[in-house]
Copies of this chain bind each other. A is one copy, B any other.
Amino acid sequence: MAKMMRAAIFVEPGRIELADKPIPDVGPNDALIRITTTTICGTDIHILKGEYPVAKGLTIGHEPVGVIEKLGSAVQGYQEGQRVIAGAICPNFNSYAAQDGVASQDGSYLTADGRCGCHGYKATAGWRFGNLIDGTQAEYVLVPDAQANLAPIPDGLTDEQVLMCPDIMSTGFKGAENANIRIGDTVVIFAQGPIGLCATAGARLLGATTIIAVDGNDHRLDIARQMGADITFNFRNCDVVEEVMKLTGGRGADSSIEALGTQKTFSQSLQVLKPGGTLSSLGVYSEDLSIPLGAFAAGLGDHRINTALCPGGKERMRRLMNVVASNRLDLGILVTHEYGLDDIVEAYDLFANQRDGVLKIAIKP
Separation of A364 and B286 alpha carbons in the complex (Å): 54
The answer to whether A209 touches B326 (Cβ under 8 A) is yes
Which residue on B lies nearest to A206, using beta carbons? B207
Given A77-B119, A281-B299, CB of A323 within 8 Å of CB of B99: no
Residues in B with CB closer than 8 Å to A4 are none
B148 and A93 within 8 A (CB): yes
A105 to chain B minimum Cβ distance, whole angstroms, is 4
Q: How large is the interface on A (under 10, 10 to 19, 20 to 34, 35 or more residues)?
A: 35 or more
Residue A315 at the chain B interface, CB threshold 8 Å: yes
Interface residues of A in 132-161 (CB under 8 A from B): 145, 147-148
B residues less than 8 Å from A276 (CB atoms) = 97, 100-102, 105, 121
Binary contact track A200-240/B, C-beta < 8 Å → 1, others 0: 00100111011000000000000000000010000000000
Cβ-closest chain B residue relative to A116 = B76
- Hey, which chain B residues are within 8 Å of A322, CB to CB? 184, 209-210
A274 CB contacts on chain B under 8 angstroms: 105, 120-121
Q: Which B residues are CB-close (under 8 A) to A301?
A: 105, 123-124, 307, 309
Complex Cα–Cα for A124 and B303 (A): 11
In contact, B100 and A93 (Cβ under 8 angstroms): no
Closest to A99 in B: B315
List residues of chain B with CB within 8 A of the CB of A314. 96, 99
A183 at the interface (CB under 8 A from B): yes
Task: Encode contact with B along A82-124: 1 for CB under 8 Å, 0 otherwise.
Answer: 0000000000111011111110110010000000101111111
| A247 at the B interface (CB under 8 A) | no
Partner of A183, one of B28, B108, B177, B209: B177
Do A99 and B93 form a contact, CB below 8 Å, given A184-B322, A300-B124, A302-B307? Answer: yes
Q: Can you offer 8 A-B residue contacts whose CB atoms are under 8 A? A: A96-B315, A99-B313, A120-B274, A123-B300, A183-B206, A289-B293, A303-B307, A305-B305
Ordered nearest first, which 6 A-B pairs have the shortest CB separation?
A: A184-B319, A102-B276, A105-B275, A99-B315, A123-B297, A94-B148
